[in-house]
């Protein structure tokens, strides 16, 4: 299983120690073209963007997102809406309107961080791929030379990757459920509310869970992950006893 394959092409694996050249700026005729691809959001992406916009998760999801369910796995996911002419709802002629709060897949580009499995230690086994097959991209093989580590640091990806690794426990545990449970509407709705619309979830159910939403977005992801994993296991137990 790979976490949501929203990238148009993973391209070639970039081994540790290898370098690549990439530069993006408004002077390129392709500037903003990558913003016409689907952008799937993780809970940490949502936490950072909603904080950047100064709204809660329900307001953000209602105004700027589309909710979907993966037809193969049954796992719910969230995409950023697009404008009528195709690009992301936050795409403008001068660039991204939420650049400081942009999601992790945008920060990674032209890299794609592919999570293939959880190892025996329970930690994600990740690889980085270089998306050379995006033929429109004129920034590839130009500009400065980057290592994976330097590019991730430049784009502030440290907290995103750590938080996303926590979240990934949820779809991987979900994947182990029987097919009937994965397709169960109640299960899907519960996960969507707890994972993505977490401000409203805490408002409605936090007092029963005995927790309040943390101010720190990483801590929020950690708390959400623990609560959601418990809910999945409890709901699965109840459903199997029905």
If asked whether residues 103 and 27 sit together in one domain, one would say: yes
Q: What share of the chain is helix, strand, coil (3-state, %, to 5)?
A: 45, 20, 35
pLDDT surpasses 70 at 70: yes
If asked whether residues 22 and 139 sit together in one domain, one would say: yes
pLDDT surpasses 60 at 4: no
If asked whether residues 34 and 149 sit together in one domain, one would say: yes
If asked whether residues 54 and 30 sit together in one domain, one would say: yes
Looking at residues 176-195, what average pLDDT do you find?
92
Tell me whether residue 7 is in a domain: no
- The residue from 128, 160, 192 where one domain ends is 160
Domain count, the chain: 2
Q: In this predicted structure, what is the pLDDT of residue 136? A: 86
Percent of all residues in the chain with a pLDDT value above 70, rounded to a whole number? 88
If asked whether residues 211 and 116 sit together in one domain, one would say: no
**Strands, DSSP E only, in 35-147?**
65-69, 76-80, 91-92, 95-96, 111-118, 124-130, 140-147
If asked whether residues 156 and 233 sit together in one domain, one would say: no
pTM reported for the whole predicted model = 0.90
State how far the alpha carbon of 70 is from the alpha carbons of 40, 51, 76, 77, 136, in Å. Answer: 12, 27, 6, 7, 28
If asked whether residues 98 and 216 sit together in one domain, one would say: no
If asked whether residues 156 and 174 sit together in one domain, one would say: no
pLDDT surpasses 70 at 6: no
Q: Tens digit of pLDDT for each residue in 218-232?
A: 998 998 899 899 989
Q: Tens digit of pLDDT for each residue in 9-48?
A: 567 889 888 999 999 999 999 999 999 989 999 999 999 9
What is the span of the domain harbouring residue 28?
Answer: 12-160
Q: Tens digit of pLDDT for each residue in 109-122?
A: 999 998 876 656 66
pLDDT surpasses 50 at 158: yes
């Amino acid at each position: 299983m790979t976490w949501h394959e929203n990238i148009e092409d993973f391209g070639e694996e970039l081994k540790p120690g290898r370098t690549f050249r990439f530069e993006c700026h408004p002077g390129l005729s392709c500037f903003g073209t990558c913003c016409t691809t689907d952008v799937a959001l993780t809970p940490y992406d949502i936490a950072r963007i909603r904080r950047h916009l100064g709204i809660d998760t329900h307001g953000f999801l209602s105004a700027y997102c589309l909710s979907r369910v993966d037809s193969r796995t049954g796992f719910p996911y969230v995409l950023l809406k697009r404008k009528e002419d195709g690009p992301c709802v936050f795409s403008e002629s001068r660039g991204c309107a939420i650049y400081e709060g942009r999601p992790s897949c945008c920060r990674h580009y032209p890299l794609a961080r592919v999570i293939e499995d959880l190892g025996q230690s329970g930690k994600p086994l990740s690889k980085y791929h270089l998306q050379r097959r995006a033929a429109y991209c004129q920034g590839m093989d130009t500009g400065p030379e980057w290592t994976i580590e330097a590019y991730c640091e430049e784009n502030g990806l440290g907290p995103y990757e750590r938080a996303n690794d926590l979240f990934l426990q949820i779809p991987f545990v979900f994947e182990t459920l029987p097919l009937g449970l994965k397709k169960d509407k109640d299960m899907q709705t519960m996960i969507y509310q707890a994972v993505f619309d977490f401000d409203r979830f805490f408002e409605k159910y936090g007092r029963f869970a005995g927790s309040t939403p943390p101010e720190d977005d990483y801590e929020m992801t950690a708390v959400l992950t623990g609560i959601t994993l418990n809910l999945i296991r409890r709901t699965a137990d109840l459903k199997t006893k029905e």
